[in-house]
Structure 1
Amino acid sequence: PWAAGLIVREVSRRVSNWRATESLPDYLNRHNLPGLTEIDTRALVRHIRSKGAMMAAVSADPQYSAADLVDMARAAPSMEGLDLVKEVTCSEPYHWEEGVAPAWQQGLQSPISNLQSHPFHVIAYDFGIKHNILRLLTDAGCRVTVVPATTTAEEVLAMQPDGVFLSNGPGDPAAVTYAIESTEKLIESDIPMFGICLGHQIVGLALGGETHKLKFGHRG
């Protein structure tokens, strides 16, 4: 996981989801991640809503005082100009074949009749891509090849894709200059392109737009 820590109001003491393989505390311990519970998360969200997103520090180490943690948070680098994509992208291209679990597909009907043949080859740029996006692309009839964020437009076009997908990801999109450059060239090639989250912003930057960080994240 790429998260540095987790804050929740209450941790369920019973692992009841049919897909669960371990409890949340066990998962955090396995990855050496700090977690806080019994936090009024609604009050925290209201604070962020009025004051804006801010840096924070979470630790269970008794050697750090509250003042030490405040100093750590204040010393954390700004998100502006920060390229986090290079930290989370894959190192080599790979093919994705897994679809959505059958249990989630009951009662659904797809308008595509030849799903099993996967006729559409889609190149997915990995800026920190979510696996479920890849599952949904596969179920939509796509043969998906995931490539690192630094893959050039020439390398992508050599794979002869039917479309290019730009994924979600962390950090400042303006700092991902290599992806913006590749996107500019891919747009000029007239190949169909689509994206989500950071990918949308990279398309905007490639078309001459500008981005700026909002006071706080918008989700829903």
Structure 2
Amino acid sequence: MNTAALVLEDGKVFRGEAFGATGQTLGEVVFCTGMTGYQETLTDPSYHRQIVVATAPQIGNTGWNDEDDESTRIWVAGYVVRDPARTPSNWRSRRPLDEALTEQGVVGIAGVDTRTLTRHIRERGAMRGGVFSGDTLTSVDEMRQRVLESPQMVGADLAGEVTVAETYVVRPAAETRFRVAALDVGIKTNTPRMMSQRGIETHVLPAHATIDDVLAVEPDGFFLANGPGDPATTDGPVALTKEVLDREIPTFGICFGHQILGRALGLGTYKLRYGHRGINIPVIDVATGRVAITAQNHGFAIEGEPGQRFDTPYGGAVISHYCPNDGCVEGVRAQDVPAFSVQYHPEAAAGPHDAAPLFDEFVNLMEARRAQA
């Protein structure tokens, strides 16, 4: 057995065995409460530079297939599990999970008491850590020093590391009803797929796109994708969003894109203690009181209170949604320009699907704008 260790920046150590690639990896240690959808989690660019702890005790039962990736690669910095499945059992499985991790050089650790680890993160907050195995497994002091020398998530500008190199287009299977310019700061594969089901032709633009790039698409709408890092570093995307709002192009943002829109409307952002990550997080719509169970992955949030109304350079706006667990802002809606955003994932491939109709709301915004033209 190849032993391994997870070392946190506060000196806490969790021992286990190597899972996936052998070596060293550093990142922010966070926990994800989803009981399914690990393949989507691992390939979500929003998890770039994070060591993900699976709170579900057994991981890998359905193996790894060739259809459910949310991007072209695994993005997590490392993976921590308690009880990896010995043999996957699913008709779509093509290889075991640990084989996929090994192939892509993702260093993991298994056999960890993930319940104790999760409680530790909840009490102390998400923090930097490292997984070490093989030749990198040395003294605790030396491993901890490597962790302390690694970059923090606050101030991390990561969108440029996950964005597409050049624009690509996802066309609908049927007739094209609308054309959308989507800013890729970490977009997932299922997002343009869900828009294509609604007759939307999606032009996915690099994170450094300009207003001229957006206007060249002749878009009916503008989409701000999910992504990793500190939203305080997104001055370029925020400036672009302001130019889009000046032109009153219907705008929809999710997750990281929600934080970008929030900044464009004049709101600040801050780091959460341990974030929201999972597929079972409740959100309340302030206007209706309706509760949606959502998929989320964010360690930062925008400032505000549920139902708060505030002035922006584009007219009034309101905090439209919040999480009842901690009061965190989960949605923003502009009242005088066609723009809204949510902190959660309406495109969640592993579910739940309570928020999927938000894409229909985006369509309604574009229809209304077209009718006014």
Q: Structure 2: where are the runs of 5+ without partners?
A: 1-73, 282-373
Could you tell me which residue of structure 1 aligns to residue 203 of structure 2? 145
Task: Answer yes or no: is the 8 Å Cα contact 2:203–2:217 preserved in 1.
Answer: no
The corresponding residue for 1:34 is 107
**CA distance in 2 between partners of 1:208 and 1:34 (Å):** 40
Measure, in 2, the Cα distance between the counterparts of 1:60 and 1:97: 45
Pair 1:167-2:225 in alignment: yes
- Of the three residues 131, 136, 151, the one matched with 2:194 is 136
Normalising to structure 1: TM-score of the pair?
0.88
- The aligned counterpart of 1:93 is 167
Q: How many residues align?
A: 204
Q: Is 1:46–2:119 an aligned residue pair?
A: yes
Please state how far the C-alpha of 1:212 moved relative to its aligned partner.
0.6
Tell me whether 1:24 sits opposite 2:97 in the alignment.
yes
The 1-side partners of 2:194 and 2:117 are apart by 33
Q: Work out the CA distance in 2 between the residues paired with 1:143 and 1:42.
A: 44
1:119 to 177, 183, 189: 177
Task: State the Cα distance separating 1:97 from its structure 2 match.
Answer: 4.0
Q: Deviations over 1:130-168 (max 9, x none)?
A: 111222111122111111010012210121111111010
The CA distance in 1 between the partners of 2:201 and 2:150, in whole Å, is 40
Provide the identity percentage.
42
- When the two chains are superposed, the root-mean-square deviation of aligned CA atoms in Å is 1.5
Q: Deviations 1:11-65 (Å, cap 9, x if unpaired)?
A: 1122223332211111011011111111122221111111001001012123432
The yes-or-no answer on 1:74 pairing with 2:148 is yes
Residues 96-131 of structure 1 deviation map (CA, whole Å, 9 limit, x = unaligned)? 248xxxxxxxxxxxxxxxx72131111111111111
Q: Is the counterpart of residue 191 in structure 1 residue 191 in structure 2?
A: no
Give structure 1 regions of 4+ aligned residues with deviation exceeding 6 angstroms.
none
- Higher helix residue share: 1
CA distance in 2 between partners of 1:129 and 1:67 (Å): 38
- Higher RCO (CA 8 Å, separation ≥ 6 residues): 1
Q: 2:171–2:200: 8 Å Cα contact kept in structure 1?
A: no
What SS class does the counterpart of residue 130 from structure 2 fall into?
coil
Change in CA separation of 1:42 and 1:133 when aligned onto 2, cut-off 3 Å: farther
Aligned partner letter, 2:187:
I
Tell me, in whole angstroms, the C-alpha distance in 2 between the residues paired with 1:94 and 1:63: 40
1:158 aligns with 2:158: no
In structure 2, C-alpha distance between the alignment counterparts of 1:80 and 1:9, rounded to whole Å? 28
SS in 1 for 2:201: strand
Seen in structure 2, the aligned counterparts of structure 1 residues 134 and 43 have a Cα distance that, compared at 3 Å, is: farther
